[in-house]
Amino acid sequence: MTATTTPARVAVRRTRRIPRSPVPALSAAVLAFVAAGVLVTGTTGPVQTAVVLAALLVVPGLAVVRPLGLVEPIGRAGLVVATSAAVDAVVALVMVWSDRWTPVPAAGLVLVVSGWAALAHGVVTVRAGDRGPSVRSLRAAWSARHDGTLVRLVAGGGVLVTGVALWAVGTAQTDATALGEWGLLTAVTPTWWLGAGAVVAVTVLALVDRRFPAALRTASAAVLVVVVYGTANLVATEPRPPWVFKHIAVTAAIQQHGSVDPTIDIYNRWPGFFSLSAFLGSATGNLEALAPVRFVEIAFALLDAALVYGIARALGARGRWAVTAAVLFSTANWVGQDYYSPQALAFALFLAAVLVVVTTLRRSPNSLGRGLVGGVSRLLRARRAPVAPAPAAPVGSTATIAAVLVVVLLQAVITASHQLTPFVLVAALVPLVVVGVVRPWWVALPVTAAPLLYLLPNLDYVQEKFGLTTGFDPVSNVTAASTSISIPSLATTLQSRGVLAITALVAVVAVVGIVRMVRSGHGQRALVLLWLAACPMVLVLGQSYGGEGKYRVVLFSAPFLATAAVHALHGRRLRLGATAALVTVTTALFVGTTFQAEQASQTPAGDVAAARWLDGRFDADDTLTTVGSFPALIGADYPAYLHHWAQVASVADTTAWYPDGMTPADLQESIVDRSHGGDAWLVFSDTQRADVVDRGVLTGAEVDAMERSVAAEGVLRYDRDGVRVYEVARAA
């Protein structure tokens, strides 16, 4: 096949090799040794937290990632953080599985070993004596003074700083204690909207105008991610969403006991995330997990965006368009799985593994792969013969073996942290191995074996508690209703349609991008992206996961749909206008849909305080009854709530058994049925009452009658901030 027309201006080219600087390695070595000294001296407070946490999340990964030879700085930085977390998680898992919980000495050992490795690498780089990057950077900055770059830097930077300041003031002024059906959309102040609008404007202009400095473009994109992901966490009085308190409780239990107990729950069987969290908390002297939780979603959002940027660069997008892919992914990722949770860590490590695969392990396809590329190229009438680009990273034996080890390390931690994610990585990798795009072929063996071998001893537990499959009917599994409950209203209807619009819009543009890549001769990259976007469908082949399976498919497809979409946007002014419109629309829809849902994501501070008070008083044979949602599992003693069937129940969940309305006598019958010989605790709060009444589950009169009955029979043990806890001793 020969070219018949001029190929489209698709910005796909080999990543330029950038000579290394010794500064990062030497700085990492200094950081590691300072952090180790902090641990030795027993220094406590913010200094210990900041220094030790930064060292543990940066230095170990540098030593592991260095042999890969990656040169793109943003994606490499994301991979360093993800790999550092994986190394720390392995250390933590060894301690909890061996019942040898010594987090501070272990952290010191990790830092000393990785520090010496960073120092050695820095010394070798210094001896190489390459100062080319600095000289070229200065020359490029000087030559750019005539093309308006400096003006854009000053003007864009000024607007960005002003926008950040207005956003910070607006966030501080926002009251999220009593959200209505529109959530944060009506709670944030006009100042917030002005600040956020300025940040969006600078980001969009930086993406469409190539004369904007790359540093400003990257900074504005990062600030945009902080604005859209950070607002809800910063205005919330307590960590969000409500079910995060169970995760906090598991972490606290590991910190207190230094081990895991598989008989308690599924989290103790897949403890990777919780062990890592407990290890980092203990090493940094932060034993209260509630404090840093609100910042975790921001951190994961930035990490994921950096990894998507690296993936986009590896698959042919230039810097400006790779930033566009990262922004599109961030504004299309409405699923909300970046909070303090195992799936957030597993997803970040999944992206890290994909980044390693597409940079260091990607090769030209075999005969089967070439046949697929050629067939698709003929089908779409490609304007030029298929191009087989050289991988951007070195492909020597050292880099290859190091890459395989990193992928296996990441998959091992993913496997020990989350039940679903490792199988998505298997589905993504194995077909690429079959068509020769990923080599060596044997990398698929440990990646596939790890989740299967880990599942075998837990298979009976999973089958008994959750069911291994719900039927091999993908259509039914995708359309299954979610188990979550939302208040039916105009706001929730628009929200549900808005999230579908985001995904549909990005998916349509992504299809255009795939077609354009194939027609311009880049069929190999196109098929890799297409498969990575499609392979998450494996999640719903045999399970609906309580209606949540389809959301996982959207989550795992989003990075690759966004990357494919930017290939539809390269070109002249019309496409630049489409880029600006797409980024603006997805950002607006993301803010509208996620901010509206905040009503269900907030937990009142009064409920949290009451739960913490009850946590130290609840015994293994007691029962707890609440009106609605209540963060009962909140502390290290949370296993006490799980010893018997239905120890914790809400009145709202039992109303289905009483179609004619629930009476105080019905409540008493429910308590007796669930009694295990201990005391009965009942929690009534103003916020729970308002919630169940608004949803039409109970009437206010029914709730009040129940509370009067309980008050007459039991003892009021806690009455604070609109929350009342009653104790009925030795419930019959």
> In the chain, how many domains are there?
2
Is 460 part of any domain?
yes
pLDDT at 126: 73
In a domain, 244, yes or no: yes
pLDDT value at residue 4: 41
Of 149-158, 350-359, 713-722, the one with minimum mean pLDDT is 149-158
Highest mean predicted confidence (pLDDT) among 205-219, 239-253, 403-417: 403-417
Assigned domain for 173 exists: no
Domain that holds residue 618: 605-728
Neighbours of 144 (CB within 10 A): 15
User: At residue 279, does pLDDT exceed 60?
Assistant: yes
Question: What Cα–Cα distance (Å) separates residue 87 from each residue in 107, 118, 142, 325?
Answer: 11, 15, 42, 28
Domain boundary among 571, 598, 625: 598
Both 558 and 636 in one domain: the answer is: no
The answer on 280 and 307 residing in a single domain is: yes
544 plus 649 within the same structural domain: no
More confident residue, 319 or 15: 319
The confidence score (pLDDT) of residue 452 equals 96
How confident is the model over 638-695, as pLDDT tens digits?
Answer: 999 998 888 999 998 888 788 888 899 999 988 888 888 899 999 999 999 998 898 8
Task: Please determine, for residue 419, whether its predicted confidence score (pLDDT) is greater than 70.
Answer: yes
Question: Does residue 537 sit in the same domain as residue 635?
Answer: no
The residue among 549, 362, 353, 504 whose CA lies nearest residue 438 is 362
Closest CA to 355 of 386, 321, 388, 326: 326
Q: What pLDDT, on the 0 to 100 scale, is given for residue 193? A: 97
pLDDT at 12 over 50: no
- End position of a domain, from candidates 556, 576, 598: 598
If one counts every other C-beta atom within 10 angstroms of the C-beta of residue 207, the result is 25
Res 522: pLDDT? 87
Residue 449 lies in a domain: yes
Q: What average pLDDT does the structure give for the chain?
A: 87
With respect to residue 188, please indicate whether it lies within any of the assigned structural domains: no
Same-domain status, 559 and 650? no
Label the pairing between strands 680-685 and 723-728: antiparallel
Band of the pLDDT at 173, cuts 50, 70, 90? Answer: very high
> Quick one: 305 and 387 in the same domain?
yes
Percent of the chain with pLDDT over 90: 62
Q: What is the pLDDT of residue 583?
A: 95
Name the pairing type of β-strands 723-728 and 715-720.
Answer: antiparallel
- Last residue in a domain, options 574, 598, 622: 598
Do 508 and 634 share a structural domain?
no
Same domain, 613 and 530: no
* Global pTM exceeds 0.95: no
Asked if 495 and 596 count as a contact pair (C-beta separation under 8 A), the reply is: yes
131: amino acid identity, one letter? R
Residue 19 has what pLDDT?
Answer: 46
**Co-location of 657 and 575 in the same domain:** no
Asked whether residue 189 is domain-assigned, the answer is no
Grouping H, G, I as helix, E, B as strand and the rest as coil, residue 569 is coil
CA distance 300 to 313: 20
Q: Smallest Cα–Cα separation from 309: which of 225, 228, 387?
A: 225
Give the model's pLDDT for residue 137: 53
The answer to whether residue 184 sits within a structural domain is no
Tell me what the mean pLDDT of segment 316-343 comes to.
93
> Residue 604 and residue 222: Cα distance in Å, rounded?
30
Give residue 302's pLDDT band: very low, low, confident or very high (50, 70, 90): very high
Contact 351, 304 (CB under 8 A): yes
Which pLDDT belongs to residue 384?
65
pLDDT in tens, 506-521: 999 999 999 999 988 8
Co-location of 582 and 679 in the same domain: no
What pLDDT does 6 receive?
39
Do 583 and 698 sit in the same domain of this protein? Answer: no
610 shares its domain with 594 = no
- For 576, counting Cβ atoms within 10 Å of its Cβ (0-12 exposed, 13-18 middle, 19+ buried), the class is middle
* 197 belongs to a structural domain: no
